A = this chain, B = another copy of it.
């Protein structure tokens, strides 16, 4: 089964679970399929899962009062997505997650993650490591935001994730870079 193998390989990069342990770990995940454009987490709703991407591409984003969209993250296969603030603090979502393409994900509830972390020391280790990576990446992006202009950030993004260029429309790239689609367009024409 493809989903199980994908998660297993992902976890194995960080920690070692026996087959029985991994089967138990995996039994807490629920596979779901979504279509292009479908919402997974909607602002204002309660959030109780995080999502491990098996196939397709998600985006997590914020919409401000003027309905302008800001993209926090694109999530490709083996990436995780959720509104972590809402998930950990049991508040309503302020972040949305939806599908840029058709997608398959594995859902893990907050309660099950905490249960797994409690029962399996290695699971806790895995999730600590994963959040570390996210934290370091978020800090890097913040620095790039302060330090670099749009052109640099655009090239940095494409160098890091070349696959995005083909999958993601330019207006979403612009929303990730925190720039207007017009300005982004003018970067590589005119």
Majority secondary structure, A binding face: helix
- Cross-chain contact B70 with A136 (CB below 8 angstroms): no
Q: How far is the CB of A95 from chain B (nearest CB, A)?
A: 8
Taken together, the copies of this chain in the complex come to 2
The residues of B that contact A147 with a CB separation of less than 8 Å are 62, 64, 68, 70
Given A128-B131, A138-B139, residue A146 in contact with residue B178 (CB < 8 A): yes
Interface string of A122-145 (1 = CB under 8 A from B): 001101100110111011111101
Determine the distance from Cα of A68 to Cα of B140 in the docked complex, in whole angstroms: 16
Q: How far is the CB of A93 from chain B (nearest CB, A)?
A: 13
**A121: interface (CB < 8 Å):** yes
**A24: interface (CB < 8 Å):** no
- Cross-chain contact A124 with B134 (CB below 8 angstroms): no
The residues of B that contact A164 with a CB separation of less than 8 Å are none
Report the nearest B residue to A141, measured CB to CB.
Answer: B142
**A33: interface (CB < 8 Å):** no
The residues of B that contact A72 with a CB separation of less than 8 Å are 139, 142-143
Determine the distance from Cα of A147 to Cα of B138 in the docked complex, in whole angstroms: 16
Given A128-B128, A147-B64, residue A84 in contact with residue B121 (CB < 8 A): no
Q: How far is the CB of A60 from chain B (nearest CB, A)?
A: 9
The residues of B that contact A183 with a CB separation of less than 8 Å are none
The residues of B that contact A84 with a CB separation of less than 8 Å are 132, 135-136, 139
- Cross-chain contact B128 with A85 (CB below 8 angstroms): no
Given A70-B147, A124-B124, A125-B117, residue A131 in contact with residue B135 (CB < 8 A): yes
Given A117-B128, A135-B134, A138-B135, residue A146 in contact with residue B70 (CB < 8 A): yes
Interface residues of A (CB under 8 A from B): 62, 64, 68, 70, 72, 84-85, 88, 117, 121, 124-125, 127-128, 131-132, 134-136, 138-143, 145-147, 178
